[in-house]
Amino acid sequence: MIFKRFLKAKPEEDLAWTLYKGIVEQARQPALFSNLGIPDDVDGRFESIVLHLVLVLRRLKKDFPEGEALAASLQEVFYTDMDRSLREMGAGDLGVGKRVQRMAEGFMGRLNAYGDALDSLAQGGEVDLKAALQRNVYGTLPADSVDPEGLLRYAISLADALDRQDGVELRRGMLEFLSP
């Protein structure tokens, strides 16, 4: 009985899983791949999840301090899911930790790049965001094969829509996304 108290998940963790499932569902919308040109492969799906996750984290952190604990739990859920995904794809136990660490470092770089660009949209951040999307989402494709303009417009619109969502509802796990 005493161990149950220590093993109980924090309320933020359950909400984080709810939000994360919604993020993954949105990140897997076929239109993102067919209409916006995100590569439909492991790297492209990772980039799509990261983009949506960054936008939600950015919104949660605007509700300081109320959104901070949930944002931290959401990041942990992402790392847990990446660990699980790598294991499902057959990565050995010894290599999973290093791969998750590399993924976490890549995620943090994108969190900063996308966040900084979105925060400075009025001062030329659109150019920075477009470059970050080109570099990260479309980085495995030939440079002239895809134009990130559609994804740029979607990301800006989604960030704006998330900013307009009620923080209390968002922190209760209610997430509304735009159609890609």
Q: What value, to the nearest 5°, has the Cα angle with vertex 147 and ends 160 and 103?
A: 70
- Any domain includes 2: no
Amino acid residing at 103: M
Q: Is residue 180 part of a domain?
A: no
Identify whether 160 is part of a domain. Answer: yes
DSSP per-residue codes, 77-144: HHHHHHHHHHHHTT--HHHHHHHHHHHHHHHHHHHHHHHHHHHTGGGTHHHHHHHHHHHHTSTTS-TT
Task: Please write the tens of the pLDDT for every residue from 155-173.
Answer: 999 999 999 999 999 988 8
pLDDT digits (tens, 9 = 90+) for 52-100: 999 999 999 988 788 899 999 999 999 999 888 877 876 666 667 788 7
Q: Is residue 179 part of a domain?
A: no
Q: pLDDT: is 10 or 176 the higher one? A: 176
The boundaries of the domain holding residue 135 are 9-171
Residue 129 domain flag? yes
Look at residue 176 and tell me if it is in a domain.
Answer: no
Number of independent structural domains in the chain: 1
Q: Is 4 contained in some domain?
A: no
Q: Is residue 1 part of a domain?
A: no
